């Protein structure tokens, strides 16, 4: 019996799944790796620990779930979080830790380019918003602030490229992850010279561009032996976690949008051309030559609610943070739609789409003497979801979204799924599987093996779960509040900047 293995190099952990060819999960394991914050704005991970953790988890999964049952591994497909940047010397040895997507040290470089004429040209060409998360700006930062490392660097890689290099000795990056570097010309599918010039590098400093279906090369002998894998196994370069979560949710070339809310969130649509946003707010990631995943990411999500629970939750009866959050959700359901007039702006972590302002900060607005604790609970949840709605509204300017699919631990909470449906005034399907990224990677590998004719056909295999329908009345209430939410966010630009400077 053959099986497919997917490896997701996520933000905090590697998650490895094994599927049989029908898409049934045979086994899965995860391995945590830490993120270091040595200074404000710094967010780093150790590439060696990520590699070793991946190897360790893969070995355990193979030895416990695959080899004993005589499964034959047909292919291994990678996916990873976006925007990581790792400088290695000319022998491939890391010169420092990898900068993660959450690393904001390049904020001055972002400000600089956003104010310049170059910004429009680069967005037209790369389809990616200019934000400190972008490896283009991280490299520019390094050139300016860590010239010694910059000079020594032989290549600037993503974490996935580094892991693949360890396994096969090839420097590769797929189109979709290359988009997330902010340096890929998505029309020509080649590195964009203006972006590289801004970063201060030439194309030879970047890994080779390959399609998501490309083979990553042959597994090194030592790893064949230690893992018990055959030389002929195909290792697929694969894609990014965001693109795979979209494929795994069954969203492909339709008028459906997918909303993912874990700690942070994103709203995405798939289409055959770039969504050209005049305000440069929308990302466009190229999956294959004529297929784009477009959308907006948000820092707001379950992480914000968890913060609320830690500060204001009742732990006298709750066993842990999960049960505390459940109790809070229970209390929130008792409050009327709209929280009787409290609005919450969820910008605890600054914000990406749609306002792209790292200085944005959170607030509660509209509090009066009658408001009680439970109003704040519901307002917090509603605030997080208004923000998601505002991203959907932005995408709706480009694409007529007719229905939604939600996944991720926060979005799939029934209470939240219903609010999303009410806010958007559209039906919402809750994705059955919690592991959309892995399923997406499985579908990619299965398509590569010829099990599906195309990614469209693969995506259509995904069964949807429960469907939530909008309540017209609630929608009207939410829209009245959203108007205030939106204008507050727009009005507070100067104040955000001033308060952030004091912090």
Residues of this chain that interact with another protein (CB under 8 A) are 13, 29-32, 34, 46, 48-49, 51-53, 55-57, 59, 91, 93-94, 221-227, 310, 315, 318, 320-321, 324
Phi and psi angles of residue 406, each rounded to the nearest 5 degrees, phi first: -115, 145
Task: Judge whether 117 and 171 are in contact, CB under 8 Å.
Answer: no
Q: How far is the CB of 169 from another protein (least distance, A)?
A: 10
Q: How far is the CB of 70 from another protein (least distance, A)?
A: 22
Q: How far is the CB of 194 from another protein (least distance, A)?
A: 34
What is the C-alpha separation between 5 and 246, in angstroms, rounded? Answer: 19
Q: How far is the CB of 14 from another protein (least distance, A)?
A: 9
Q: Which CB sits closer to another protein, 29 or 102?
A: 29
Q: Which CB sits closer to another protein, 18 or 342?
A: 18
Q: Which CB sits closer to another protein, 13 or 451?
A: 13
Both tokens of 381, joined, read: 């949840």
Q: How far is the CB of 278 from another protein (least distance, A)?
A: 40
Q: How far is the CB of 27 from another protein (least distance, A)?
A: 13
Containing 457, the helix (H) or strand (E) segment is: helix 455-459
Q: Which CB sits closer to another protein, 30 or 114?
A: 30
Sign of the Cα pseudo-torsion (264, 267, 272, 276, in order): negative
Q: How far is the CB of 82 from another protein (least distance, A)?
A: 22
Q: 46-60: buried (b, 16+ CB within 10 Å) or exposed (e) per residue?
A: bbeebbebbbebbbe
Detail the DSSP E strand segments found in 148-192: 155-157, 172-174, 184-185, 190-191
Q: How far is the CB of 113 from another protein (least distance, A)?
A: 33
Q: What is the DSSP string of 463-481?
A: PEEEEE---HHHHHHHHHH
What is the C-alpha separation between 381 and 329, in angstroms, rounded? Answer: 9
Q: How far is the CB of 226 from another protein (least distance, A)?
A: 3
Containing 295, the helix (H) or strand (E) segment is: strand 291-298
What is the C-alpha separation between 335 and 59, in angstroms, rounded? Answer: 49
What is the C-alpha separation between 459 and 452, in angstroms, rounded? Answer: 9
Q: Which CB sits closer to another protein, 45 or 80?
A: 45
Containing 62, the helix (H) or strand (E) segment is: none
Q: Which CB sits closer to another protein, 59 or 432?
A: 59
DSSP class of residue 426 equals: S
Both tokens of 354, joined, read: 């749609």
Q: Which CB sits closer to another protein, 33 or 191?
A: 33
Q: Which CB sits closer to another protein, 14 or 345?
A: 14
Q: How far is the CB of 160 from another protein (least distance, A)?
A: 17
What is the C-alpha separation between 39 and 71, in angstroms, rounded? Answer: 46
The torsion defined by the Cα of 279, 266, 323 and 304, in degrees rounded to 10, comes to -20
Q: Which CB sits closer to another protein, 146 or 306?
A: 306
Q: What is the DSSP string of 374-407?
A: HHHHHHHHHHHHHHHHHHHHHHHTTS---EEEEE
Both tokens of 91, joined, read: 């022998």
Q: Which CB sits closer to another protein, 160 or 256?
A: 160
């Amino acid at each position: 019996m053959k099986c497919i293995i997917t490896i997701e190099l996520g933000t905090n952990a590697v998650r490895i799944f094994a599927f049989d060819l029908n898409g049934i999960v045979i086994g899965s394991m995860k391995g945590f790796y830490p993120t270091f914050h040595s200074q404000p704005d710094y967010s780093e991970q150790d590439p060696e620990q990520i590699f070793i953790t991946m190897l360790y988890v893969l070995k355990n999964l193979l030895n416990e779930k695959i080899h004993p049952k005589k499964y034959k591994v047909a292919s291994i497909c990678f996916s990873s979080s976006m925007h990581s940047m790792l400088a290695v010397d000319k022998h491939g040895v890391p010169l420092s830790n990898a900068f993660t997507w959450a690393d904001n040290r390049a904020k001055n470089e972002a400000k600089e380019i956003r104010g310049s004429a170059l910004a429009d040209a680069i967005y037209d060409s790369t389809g990616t918003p200019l934000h400190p998360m972008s490896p283009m700006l991280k490299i520019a930062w390094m050139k300016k602030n860590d010239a010694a490392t910059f000079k020594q660097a032989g290549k600037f890689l993503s974490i996935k490229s580094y892991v693949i290099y360890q396994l096969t000795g090839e420097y590769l990056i797929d189109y979709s992850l290359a988009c997330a570097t902010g340096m890929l010309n998505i029309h020509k599918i080649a590195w964009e010279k203006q972006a590289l010039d801004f970063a201060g590098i030439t194309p030879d400093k970047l890994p080779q561009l390959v399609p998501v279906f490309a083979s990553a090369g042959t597994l090194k002998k030592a790893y064949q032996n230690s893992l018990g894998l055959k030389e002929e196994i195909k290792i697929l370069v694969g894609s990014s976690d965001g693109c795979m979560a979209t494929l795994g949710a069954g969203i492909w070339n339709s008028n459906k949008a997918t909303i993912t809310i874990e700690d942070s969130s994103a709203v995405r649509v798939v289409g055959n051309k770039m969504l050209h946003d005049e305000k440069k707010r929308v990302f466009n990631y190229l999956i294959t030559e004529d297929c784009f995943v477009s959308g907006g990411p948000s820092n707001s999500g379950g992480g914000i609610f968890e913060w609320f629970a830690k500060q204001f939750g009742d732990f006298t009866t709750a066993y842990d943070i999960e049960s505390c959050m459940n109790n809070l959700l229970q209390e929130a359901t008792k409050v009327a739609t709209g929280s009787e007039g409290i609005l919450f702006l969820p910008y605890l972590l600054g914000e990406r789409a749609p306002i792209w302002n790292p200085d944005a900060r959170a607030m509660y607005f509209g509090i009066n003497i009658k408001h009680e604790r439970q109003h704040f609970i519901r307002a917090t949840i509603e605030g997080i979801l208004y923000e998601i709605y505002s991203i959907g509204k932005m995408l709706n300017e480009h694409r007529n979204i007719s229905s939604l699919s939600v996944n991720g631990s926060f979005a799939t909470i029934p209470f939240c799924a219903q609010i999303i449906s009410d806010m958007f005034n559209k039906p919402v399907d809750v994705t059955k599987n919690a592991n959309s990224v892995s399923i997406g990677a499985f579908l990619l590998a299965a398509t590569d093996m010829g099990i599906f004719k195309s990614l469209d056909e693969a995506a259509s295999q995904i069964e949807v779960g429960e469907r939530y329908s909008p309540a017209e009345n609630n929608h009207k209430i939410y829209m009245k509040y959203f108007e205030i939410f939106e204008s507050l966010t727009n009005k507070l630009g100067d104040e955000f900047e001033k308060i952030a400077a004091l912090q």
